[in-house]
Amino acid sequence: MVMKTEILYDSLLPLKVVTFDDIVQQALPIIEATPNRRYIYKKYVTRLVQTGKLHNIRKNLYLVLSPLEKPETYMPDKILIAAKIKKQYYLGYHTALEYYGCAQSLWNEAYVVVKPNSRFDIFHYKRYYFKPVFNDDITTEIQEKHYQRNTINVSSKERTLLDCLSKPQYVGGWEETIKSLEGLSQISIEKTLKLLHIYKDNTLTRKTGYVLELLRDRSPFYQHINDENLKQIQQLVTGLPRYLISKEKGRLNTKWNLYVPEDFEDRMRGI
């Protein structure tokens, strides 16, 4: 007769990374009772940890290992870990670009966007570092995606675009940002415009118009953006000139009323 511990383990194994809440949820129908959480931890979690089938990543977060996998050598998926740190969150910036398969380079860091009152301390596991980014809005244009038999929250492509332009420091700087965005396909200009209307961020609006125009000339994924689309963004620009890069002087792009460093576009080409 198969022990309940083994049945629970078999239900957890496909998930690969689980929280204690996940374990409780999987355990309840197997146990066929309503034991408390402490009972589940002592009776099942402790046993699975002792037998090497669960490996503790941090408090209440576990790696589920197959019989052939050892914690010393197994390299987990950082996206699965990042998606389990907080209940209310989304994966954004460079991590979202990696999810969409267009990041210029792969990082050992994962960015988890949470509200300021839901902060967590930066931590590392194996070679990966998990870092919070704070934002009061973690619902607008955030999508649930199926990933490795799990459900994760990721910024939509349009939200990813604007997030990256707003805070390129979480993408690795402007060069990594532009080169990664070149490969971000199927951007909806309608959704992008809707977000710009919601944000009402004049500097971000200018950056978006300027960068979309730049990307249209550089990437086949942006050729659907036409002059009328850019004009709609341009009509949102008001006020005095702003800087593409804070306090970095350059040539004034009169269309977007934006100071752009003299060598910016050459640097983006890798020259």
Question: Which tens digits make up the pLDDT trace of 107-128?
Answer: 999 999 999 999 999 999 999 9
Q: What are 82-116's pLDDT values in tens digits?
A: 999 999 999 999 999 999 999 999 999 999 999 99
Work out how many domains the chain is built from and give that number: 2
Local structure of residue 126 (DSSP, 8 states): T
Does 240 score more than 60 pLDDT? yes
Same-domain status, 130 and 244: yes
Q: What are 141-153's pLDDT values in tens digits?
A: 999 999 999 999 9
Q: Is residue 39 part of a domain?
A: yes
Same-domain status, 84 and 207: yes
> Alpha helices, DSSP H only, in the chain?
4-12, 20-31, 37-40, 46-50, 78-82, 94-99, 157-166, 174-181, 189-199, 202-218, 227-234, 264-268
pTM of structure: 0.94
Same-domain status, 35 and 84: no
d(CA 156, CA 139): 10
Same-domain status, 115 and 88: yes
Give the CATH number, domain containing residue 223. 3.30.460
Q: Is residue 200 part of a domain?
A: yes
- Dmax over CA atoms of the chain, in Å, equals 76
> Do residues 215 and 181 lie in contact, with contact meaning Cβ atoms separated by under 8 Å?
yes
Same-domain status, 217 and 252: yes
Domain span at 12: 4-64
Separation of first and last alpha carbons in the chain: 67
Same-domain status, 92 and 121: yes
Extract the tokens encoding 37.
């959480």
Same-domain status, 52 and 179: no
Q: Is residue 49 part of a domain?
A: yes
Extract the tokens encoding 9.
């383990």
Same-domain status, 59 and 83: no
**Cα separations in angstroms, 26 against 29, 89, 118, 167, 197:** 7, 22, 26, 39, 43
Closest CA to 60 of 115, 8, 15, 18: 18
Q: Is residue 221 part of a domain?
A: yes
